[in-house]
Structure 1
Amino acid sequence: MKKQMLLATMALAVLSAHAGAAQTDKTPDAVLKPAPQQPQAALWASRVLSRIHYKATPLDDAMSEKIFDRYFKSLDGEKLFFSQADIDQFANAKSRLDDAIISENLTVPFAIYNLYQQRFSERMGYARELLKGKFDFTSEESYQYDREKADWVRTEAEMKDLWRKRVKNDWLRLKLAGKDEKAIRETLDKRYEGYLSRSRKLNNEDVFQIFMNAYAMSIEPHTNYLGPRASENFDIQMRLSLEGIGAVLQTRDEYTVIREIVVGSPAGLSGKLKVGDRIVAVGQGESGPVTDILGWRIDDVVAQIRGTKDSTVRLQVLPADAGTDPKPVTVALVRKKISMEEQSAKKTIMEVRDGTAKRRIGVISLPTFYQDYEARSKGDRDFKSATRDVARLLAELKKDKVENVLIDLRNNGGGSLNEAVELTGLFIDKGPVVQQRNAEGRVEVESDTNPGLAWDGPVGVLINRGSASASEIFAAALQDYGRGLVIGEASFGKGTVQSLYKLDRFGQGEKPRYGELKITVAQFFRINGGTTQLRGVTPDIKLPSMADAENFGESSYDNALPYTVIKPAVYIPAGELKEIVPMLDKKHEARVAKDKDFQYLQEEIALVKKQRKENLISLNEAARRKERDQQESRAKLREARLTAAPSPDDPILVPDPKDALNKAIAAKPAGAKAARQAAAMKGAIRTDDGLQADERSLAAELDAEKAAKAAKDVLLNEAVHILADEVGLLKTDTRLASRVLPYVNDK
């Protein structure tokens, strides 16, 4: 089986923490140097990248210049720390990084990073000095908050002025939120000190990974280097499971805090841990020494807590509710396999009124195309798989007598190619799904070979700009077969296939040391011969887009592969949707013209795009207060709409009988209203408070997240309406139904 990924961005789950390296104690003046194995890893990676990659590119002077520029941008993308003089200081190395890699000498990349750390410390020190003075908020000046495309600052005076404006903006945000001078100084001083603390926790594995990614991504955007720990986290994300205790952690004020406890996990079943508890030390086994973890990076803490299934870990914890001077308590837990169900496929049922009829639409949300490769290769019959989970949900939706199914792939960045093919197979009988062309130009067709369908009724796919790769394969295949409506906005536009290449094959020893490459090995094409590369999947029915196409999506990369076309595969369309799309689009346009929530969303999108284009924010207090008042006025209008009773035309969530809370809410309209009010009050609508996430209380952040989930999803509701319209048209026009649903009508 091919272990291939089609990823735009595969975010590592909170349970697995961020990629990084072992804990390293660093003093402010510490100078980082490459680890002994890293120069070798860089050399071996260069041989793979220059020979095996789909766009194999020699490591020469031209590539060196690209690496040089991308490395500086990777370290300082907003151009807030380096000056042009700093860049010029390393000008002689610009065309020599290729020689450095080949000669296994990483002195220059690490020297650049150490200068970055020095500049970072200097800028934070200056920012904290500024807090001792006062700002004039009556002057007419503005701050450019997105500096990615700005020039490098040329003089020290310009740099100080830039940071003066940045700190002034931070101060003004807190002032407008009602903070007094003392509170503002304390908040910002602690914030800048925190920046420094986190920066000093970076180590040589982090630096090496940043540099190697500057190299890899200079070839093509989706090629990456993964250090040993990043590689482990990537595997966890793909299989959606790990061995640990089932607690989601985060850092707050140098403490490791329990943010969430997984139901049914060792942490949950013990009853001894609660959200908000602070872990201060970790011990291995029933009697091993205890290690103090105060101030550690979160990924290093996670590495201590994870471990072999059925082994014991001991945590020293400061209970969240133990008062101002709590004493640590010790909690011993036995590690088990933890399934990350939050990232698994989920189903809901929405009910829409259509005249006197009620249409039941099943919605399946799929965050990623996951598969436990290792379990499947070992013959485990219960291996974790997106397709298997969706097939089970479709069977349940059949029993629930839904009339249409919507697959929600918004922000699904991809995953397993096998899963994309097999998931498509749930909706077609047999046939090709996607074509792959390798570096030699050879084209292979990946097909669904399993006869039969898990769902033969109408189907829709909801996508947005964050839907990439495997999501695009699935949506494009259903569109090409005429099997399902694609609704939303143009997708990401990633038409490339990645494969993992372990660098440890060049070395000796059992312990992973060199990391691995995720390299592009092929380009995929639709069965109609086109590609999603650059252009993405164009929806049949378009919904508003908040995405910034210039800065997000394949077309935003300066070295993306071009759009191209190959010969179509041989396939037989399963349906014909061309006739029904105009009718559905007409109904959609008429409905949203009267939908206040939809109109509000369009207004918000227009405002965001206007602000993004201007890329300036006023530092005049009077002007900002006026902006804030307008923002709060819009928020109150939105809150009023959220807390109002639903209109008869709004889709209604049909409760899962196993979910007592949803069942109670659905049974009593007043309960639904209360839920919406709670959503509005707890943060689904929140004006700028000037704070960052870890500066708010944990309870407030969790409430805001729950509220956001409970808030009305305007785009999902409209997609459900569109599928309900489709059901109505198919039920009243048998000729149309015979074209759209030949599987059903062939029975």
Structure 2
Amino acid sequence: LYLGKLLPAYQIFNTYKTRMNERIKYALSRLDEEFDFTIDESYKIDRENEDWLSTTEELNELWRKKLKHEALNLKLTGKEWENIKETLTNRYKNYHRAILQYKSEEVFQLYLNSFADAIDPHSNYLAPITSENFNIRMKLSLEGIGATLRNDNEYTKVVSIVPGGPAFKADNIHEDDLITGVGQGADADLVDVIGWRIDDVVQLIRGDKGTTVKLSVLRAANGINSTPDTITIVRDKVKLEEQAAQKKIITIREKETDFNLGVIEIPSFYVDFEAKRKGEVDYRSTTRDVKKLVDELKEEKVDGIIIDLRNNGGGALDEAVELTGLFIKEGPVVQVRQSSGAVNVEEDPDPEIAYDGPLAVIVNRYSASASEIFSGAIQDYGRGLVLGEQTYGKGTVQNLIGLDRFVPSAGDKSGQLKLTIAKYYRINGSSTQNLGVVPDIPFPSAIDPGEYGESSQPSALKWDQIETSKYQKYGDLTKVIPQLLEKHQERILREPEFNYLMEDIQQYKETKNKVDFSLNEKVRRQERDEQEAKRKAREEAREKLNGIEIIDKKEVSKKTLKVEDPFLEESGHILADLLLFSQG
């Protein structure tokens, strides 16, 4: 690799492709014969700790059981053999097609990232298409038609239309339509894209704002044997609003008092780097969006605000710093230690504070990186409560390095290198690496920190500590946390939804290590019936609890029995408790 000799990478992949095609060929041939589901045998789905198989006969036996397991899963849904055979045949043909469509740059990315992962889980190579998609996620916009697409056998299917986007405004393409051809311009010839990979079709459809894309479309209502329509759409900038910060207000009743609490959900720490670099005054960012939402909530006179960072995997470091600045006057937010040992302190220099009222932050095990910087700073300053689960523990800094400048002679783009260059430290001196942020009040969790998160990565850097930054705390919430914790524990013990949740967690922990599945239909139906009986018993308990009179079970809507979000509701109760304590 150091010498630039990549032949072994492609030899390894070609061997994989050959072996995989052999397995697919066997699978397709085996589907000519129906399985006997009365035999007592089992299939082990997790072979991580098993020995490697040494003969073709052993491989065939393993794949026979794998196919039988998949077929039984379909049979349990009510499918007959011919339908099962058709479904699995299409599935394995799609596997075969996907392997054949691998490009050389994707093989290179796979090989290079396997090497990088052995050294550091967050240093990796981004091929040109991966790099482009990363940039789209960061700026929450792209230039195209505004449609979500996916493969449906050999066709490209429209899954959804982005509200307000070009396709939405044109109103000439809709959900479930199939795209069969793409042309660049109203008068251009159409390129047949049946059988193409979704990434390649998307690349053809994307384009500069103001340009026209021509599409051949099979209407969902007419079927695949109909004559396709030809349409044109003028590309424009598409804003991915569903991935932006959003707000809502929830009402929590505590001690015969109603509290209106603002909730701001932040899916990621995004910023339009390009627009910011160009000096555009209205560029998109997490902090700017949240500032607007905070101002709106203040106008609506909420009693407190909850920042929801659950499942937020991070993003731009500057955004974490600036977002923290909305809730503190000024001061250090995070310390960054370079590989040389030099420590830089990232500060909020702006004395203005957007919101100084009661605050809580919800996190879970999937909250990482920038989420941990923000929640850690809020906790260190005593500015608000941190609720939920111990966070992921990603405390390293990566930098994106464009590779085009290193290979100027290359005709195509070369992608980017994401390289770990430093570590994050909280202003109290503790690294978030491996440890993450431990909440002030923990919620029940099904996730074992040793099984998911930075601490589960063999090549991850270890936790350590440096000197504390100089900062002034806003308050000492540690004095009231024991009382809040006591009330929280009392509440979840008497709250039915948390009791159900604890049952789910216990069941998950008991069954997560199950790797052997029976291939006997009678046994599997019995297992399924037992699970279904538990589910129905729970639904009936909820109906009784909510005072719902059910005449016909089939008429019960999913919305009726839906539990909105017990964790968010409990977070609201905790913040309401804090408000009551502060009022004496």
TM-score > 0.5, shorter chain as reference? yes
Matched, 1:574 2:474: yes
Matched, 1:157 2:64: no
Matched pairs, number = 580
**Conservation of the 8 A alpha-carbon contact between 1:498 and 1:521:** yes
**Conservation of the 8 A alpha-carbon contact between 1:361 and 1:402:** yes
Residue in 1 aligned with 2:75?
175
The correspondence of residues 171-570 of structure 1 with structure 2, limited to 5 A, is 171-323=71-223, 325-508=225-408, 512-570=412-470
For 2:447, what is the secondary structure of its paired residue? coil
For 1:569, what is the secondary structure of its paired residue? coil
Matched, 1:135 2:14: no
**Conservation of the 8 A alpha-carbon contact between 1:597 and 1:641:** no
Amino acid paired to 2:436: G
Residue in 2 aligned with 1:717?
569
Aligned-partner Cα distance in 1 for 2:517–2:461: 36
The correspondence of residues 642-681 of structure 1 with structure 2, limited to 5 A, is 677-679=556-558
Shift of 1:511: 5.9
For 1:279, what is the secondary structure of its paired residue? strand
Aligned-partner Cα distance in 1 for 2:223–2:457: 51
Change over 3 Å in CA distance of 1:398–1:548 after alignment to 2: same
Residue in 2 aligned with 1:625?
525
Aligned-partner Cα distance in 1 for 2:538–2:402: 51
Change over 3 Å in CA distance of 1:188–1:245 after alignment to 2: same
Shift of 1:222: 0.2
Shift of 1:583: 1.1
Amino acid paired to 1:529: G
Amino acid paired to 1:724: A
Aligned-partner Cα distance in 1 for 2:334–2:382: 15
**Conservation of the 8 A alpha-carbon contact between 1:245 and 1:267:** yes
TM-score by length of 2: 0.95
Change over 3 Å in CA distance of 1:563–1:150 after alignment to 2: farther
Q: Deviations over 1:365-404 (max 9, x none)?
A: 1100000111111111110000111111111111111111
**Conservation of the 8 A alpha-carbon contact between 2:429 and 2:465:** yes
The correspondence of residues 693-712 of structure 1 with structure 2, limited to 5 A, is 711-712=563-564
Amino acid paired to 1:328: P
The correspondence of residues 43-192 of structure 1 with structure 2, limited to 5 A, is 101-192=1-92
Specify every segment of 5 or more residues in structure 1 that has no aligned partner in the other structure, as ranges: 1-100, 648-668, 686-709, 734-747
Aligned-partner Cα distance in 1 for 2:256–2:447: 38
Aligned-partner Cα distance in 1 for 2:15–2:563: 46
**Conservation of the 8 A alpha-carbon contact between 2:261 and 2:572:** yes
Aligned-partner Cα distance in 2 for 1:581–1:353: 20
Change over 3 Å in CA distance of 1:317–1:418 after alignment to 2: same
**Conservation of the 8 A alpha-carbon contact between 1:241 and 1:338:** yes
**Conservation of the 8 A alpha-carbon contact between 1:315 and 1:332:** yes
For 1:491, what is the secondary structure of its paired residue? coil
Q: Deviations over 1:536-591 (max 9, x none)?
A: 11111111213353442101111100111101111111111111111111111111
Aligned-partner Cα distance in 2 for 1:104–1:607: 50
Residue in 2 aligned with 1:583?
483
Shift of 1:105: 2.1
Change over 3 Å in CA distance of 1:715–1:428 after alignment to 2: same
Aligned-partner Cα distance in 2 for 1:249–1:487: 37
Q: Deviations over 1:275-296 (max 9, x none)?
A: 1111110111121221011111
Specify every segment of 5 or more residues in structure 2 that has no aligned partner in the other structure, as ranges: none
> Which structure exhibits the higher relative contact order, with contacts defined as CA atoms closer than 8 Å and separated by 6 or more residues?
1
For 1:108, what is the secondary structure of its paired residue? helix
Q: Deviations over 1:113-148 (max 9, x none)?
A: 001011111111222222223434344433222334
For 2:37, what is the secondary structure of its paired residue? coil
**Conservation of the 8 A alpha-carbon contact between 2:218 and 2:224:** no
**Conservation of the 8 A alpha-carbon contact between 1:359 and 1:727:** no
Amino acid paired to 2:46: D
Aligned-partner Cα distance in 2 for 1:582–1:375: 46
Aligned-partner Cα distance in 1 for 2:3–2:220: 53
Shift of 1:616: 2.5
Shift of 1:613: 2.1
For 1:549, what is the secondary structure of its paired residue? coil
Amino acid paired to 2:264: I
Aligned-partner Cα distance in 2 for 1:104–1:209: 14
**Conservation of the 8 A alpha-carbon contact between 2:182 and 2:205:** yes
Q: Deviations over 1:254-281 (max 9, x none)?
A: 1111111111111001111111111110
Change over 3 Å in CA distance of 1:711–1:327 after alignment to 2: farther
**Conservation of the 8 A alpha-carbon contact between 1:643 and 1:680:** no
**Conservation of the 8 A alpha-carbon contact between 1:345 and 1:390:** yes
TM-score by length of 1: 0.75
Shift of 1:490: 0.7
Of 715, 723, 727, the residue aligned with 2:579 is: 727
Q: Deviations over 1:408-455 (max 9, x none)?
A: 111110000000000011111111000000010000000111112111
Aligned-partner Cα distance in 2 for 1:599–1:391: 37
Shift of 1:231: 0.9
Shift of 1:102: 3.3
For 2:32, what is the secondary structure of its paired residue? coil
Shift of 1:640: 4.2
Aligned-partner Cα distance in 2 for 1:343–1:487: 23
Aligned-partner Cα distance in 2 for 1:144–1:470: 39
Change over 3 Å in CA distance of 1:528–1:646 after alignment to 2: farther
Aligned-partner Cα distance in 2 for 1:189–1:421: 52
CA RMSD of aligned residues (A): 2.1
